[in-house]
Structure 1
Amino acid sequence: MSRTSNRADGDIVRDFLSVADLLEEPQLAQLYAYLTREGEATVQDVIDDLELAQGTAYSYVNRLVDAGVVGVTHDEQPRRYAAREIDLTVTAAAGDREYTITPALIHAVGRRETNADIDTYIDRHGVAGLTTALTYAVARERGEVTHRLMAEDLDISPLAAEMILQALRPVVHEHYETGADVSHDTQEGVNE
């Protein structure tokens, strides 16, 4: 991937490849999610908060800057960095499905390193499957679906659906307004 192309023209291929890097490397996704959450941070903040070695932190931040998904917000020392908004829609080869890559999805992928349920789900269903699960997780938190409905729709076990919905819950609450007045337990009891 070229690290020198100009973003001024909105190079879509470069944007896609940059996002693909985030989706393939959970550590980069975790750093991007951190910067999205914090608004902006220094490399020292990254070292302290994510418990990364100094060389690793600098390397990751520089890779994200080179990829164009993180920018320098304050050029004086210490430099401050912020995540750039990502909202990229990809159409499947058959043209029958579209997947939108957002900071919430990147955050979910970043949790793969620390959440075995997300890791297992990605191994079994890929990032596209995680994208679909995230959509269901948002709907669940809004009281619109249950884990049983998700399981039926996606042809997975109700236990697998419940596990991924629970694993994605913190991501949903951080990135989406759910507005649900009903807890899961109450809602699921109503819909069963």
Structure 2
Amino acid sequence: MSYETEHVRGVDNSIAPITGVPTFTELLTNPDLATLYTAIRHSPAITAPELVDLSTISKKTVYEYLGKLAQAGLITEIEDESNPKRYEAEKFELQLTIRGMEVSITPELVAVVAHATEYPVIARVRDEHGLVTFALAHDMIKSHSVGDITVRQIASLTDLSHGTTYDLLEALYDIHDLGDDSDPTTYTPDDVVDEDDDLLTER
């Protein structure tokens, strides 16, 4: 039997404990933790020693983070006789509603945060403009990769500067391997400053 309540959907008789809620938040602010989760997500059945070899953080920190992720229910040990233990990542979607604005936190956003050290614009947008703007710009840049929106429109709808928008666009094109093998050259900050407004929605 399954049922739904005001706050919980998809409830059945095998409810797995979810603890360590701060870990979900830390995935969005700690690139090392985000990198570890993303590595497990992209390489199911990976072992802790393999993660240590791949990681730029200490062995002690890797094991500490594995404990955090496991406690939060974000990763699980594969149940077999393997030694060392093998891990797989759990899918998740954390939905937040603040002042009528809904934002979903997903592994895809976490994968972007994992690159925040390599691309400082990621942390700058997240920290200076907030999570909603960060997630909105992320989704709009994916739309840009298929020609649905321009850099100027993204900047106007997110209130990011044209330069910041373009820096973030270049970062996400690299991270998500968007578009073809060439760089995104449809617009640059100088190209779009003097364009006429042509927004998808009225401001």
For normalisation by structure 1, the TM-score amounts to 0.79
Residue of structure 1 equivalent to 2:49: 44
CA distance, structure 2, for counterparts of residue 10 and residue 179 of structure 1 = 39
Q: Report the Cα offset of residue 48 of structure 1.
A: 1.0
Q: Report the Cα offset of residue 32 of structure 1.
A: 0.8
**1:137 and 1:172 in contact (8 A); partners too:** no
Residue of structure 2 equivalent to 1:81: 87
CA distance, structure 2, for counterparts of residue 170 and residue 86 of structure 1 = 24
CA distance, structure 2, for counterparts of residue 51 and residue 74 of structure 1 = 28
Residue of structure 2 equivalent to 1:31: 36
Q: Which has the higher helix share?
A: 1
For normalisation by structure 2, the TM-score amounts to 0.75
| Structure 1: gaps of 5 or more residues | 1-7
> Which of 101, 124, 127 pairs up with 1:123?
127
- Which letter does structure 2 place at the counterpart of 1:117? V
Q: Report the Cα offset of residue 43 of structure 1.
A: 0.8
Tell me, what secondary structure is at the counterpart of 1:90?
strand
Count matched residues.
177
1:61 aligns with 2:66: yes
CA distance, structure 1, for counterparts of residue 92 and residue 129 of structure 2 = 23
CA distance, structure 1, for counterparts of residue 179 and residue 159 of structure 2 = 28
Q: CA RMSD of the aligned region, Å?
A: 2.8
- Which letter does structure 1 place at the counterpart of 2:143? A
Larger Rg: 2
CA distance, structure 2, for counterparts of residue 56 and residue 17 of structure 1 = 17
Instruction: Render the CA deviation track for 1:101-134: whole Å, top value 9, x for unaligned.
Output: 1111011122113321212222211232211111
> Which of 169, 175, 196 pairs up with 1:171?
175
Q: Report the Cα offset of residue 15 of structure 1.
A: 7.7
1:132 aligns with 2:141: no
Q: Report the Cα offset of residue 171 of structure 1.
A: 3.4
Residue of structure 1 equivalent to 2:110: 106
Residue of structure 2 equivalent to 1:160: 164
Cα distance change, pair 10–125 in 1 and its aligned pair in 2 (3 A): farther
Tell me, what secondary structure is at the counterpart of 1:111?
coil
CA distance, structure 2, for counterparts of residue 111 and residue 186 of structure 1 = 24
> Which of 135, 142, 155 pairs up with 1:151?
155
Instruction: Render the CA deviation track for 1:125-181: whole Å, top value 9, x for unaligned.
Output: 1232211111112111122112111011122221111111111223333xxxx688x
Tell me, what secondary structure is at the counterpart of 1:24?
coil
